[in-house]
């Protein structure tokens, strides 16, 4: 049987973005249940709202997934997987801080210090799993 080589990068981007959206739906359901059980207090404490959090999830998941899909061939090598994961995590960290504090011009020094730290933590946390998934294909 011939291997289908029609636009594998496009297929990877679509697949990974869809996975990102699916993860977003799970997280959105979780925060909706949190809102039903505890009201707006957890969101007020973080100076955000249920709508902002759900919007963040729905936007950032497919973006991070598309980045991973675009870089999927690189992720078949361990170093490439970590690099891919760190780049996607930078978008995730940006989205988190954007939903909590707005545009980067409003960020304080603590946020700017935490941003690369959060990026590296998420990047290294997911890099090995990404490498295992990509190297199996």
Taking Cα atoms as reference points, which of 1, 26, 16 lies closest to residue 84? 16
Q: Which residues of 64-89 are buried (b: 16+ CB within 10 A; e: fewer)?
A: bbbbbbbbbeebbeeebbbbbbbbbb
Task: Using the predicted structure, report yes or no on whether residue 3 has a pLDDT greater than 80.
Answer: no
Q: What is the pLDDT of residues 56-76, one digit of tens each?
A: 888 899 999 999 999 999 999
Q: What is the pLDDT of residues 44-61, one digit of tens each?
A: 888 888 998 899 888 899
Residue 131, in any domain of the structure: yes
Residue 2, in any domain of the structure: no
Task: Using the predicted structure, report yes or no on whether residue 1 has a pLDDT greater than 60.
Answer: no
- Residue 94 CB burial class (10 angstroms; 0-12, 13-18, ≥19): middle
Give the distance, in angstroms, between the CA of residue 126 and the centroid of all CA atoms in the same chain: 10
**What domain range is 52 assigned to?**
8-135
- Residue 40 CB burial class (10 angstroms; 0-12, 13-18, ≥19): exposed
The pLDDT assigned to 114 comes to 94
The pLDDT assigned to 42 comes to 87
The pLDDT assigned to 37 comes to 94
- The count of domains in the chain is 1
Q: At what angle do helices 8-38 and 50-70 cross, to 10 degrees?
A: 160
pTM score, whole prediction: 0.79
Per-residue pLDDT averaged across 33-51, rounded?
90
Task: Using the predicted structure, report yes or no on whether residue 106 has a pLDDT greater than 50.
Answer: yes
Residue 3, in any domain of the structure: no
Dihedral sign of CA atoms 71, 76, 95, 27 in order: positive
Residue 1, in any domain of the structure: no
Residue 27, in any domain of the structure: yes
Name the one residue in this structure whose structure tokens are 């249920």.
50
Phi-psi region of 49 (alpha: psi -120 to 50; beta: other; left: phi over 0): beta
């Amino acid at each position: 049987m011939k291997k289908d080589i029609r636009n594998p990068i496009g297929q990877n981007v679509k697949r990974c973005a869809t996975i990102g959206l699916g993860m977003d739906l799970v997280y959105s359901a979780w925060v909706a249940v949190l809102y039903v059980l505890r009201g707006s207090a957890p969101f007020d404490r973080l100076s955000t709202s249920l709508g902002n959090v759900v919007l963040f999830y729905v936007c950032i998941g497919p973006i991070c997934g598309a980045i991973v899909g675009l870089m999927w061939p690189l992720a078949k090598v361990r170093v490439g997987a970590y690099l891919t994961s760190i780049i996607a995590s930078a978008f995730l960290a940006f989205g988190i801080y954007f939903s909590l504090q707005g545009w980067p011009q409003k960020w304080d020094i603590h946020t700017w210090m935490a941003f690369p730290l959060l990026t590296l933590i998420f990047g290294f946390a997911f890099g090995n799993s990404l490498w295992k998934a990509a190297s199996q294909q």
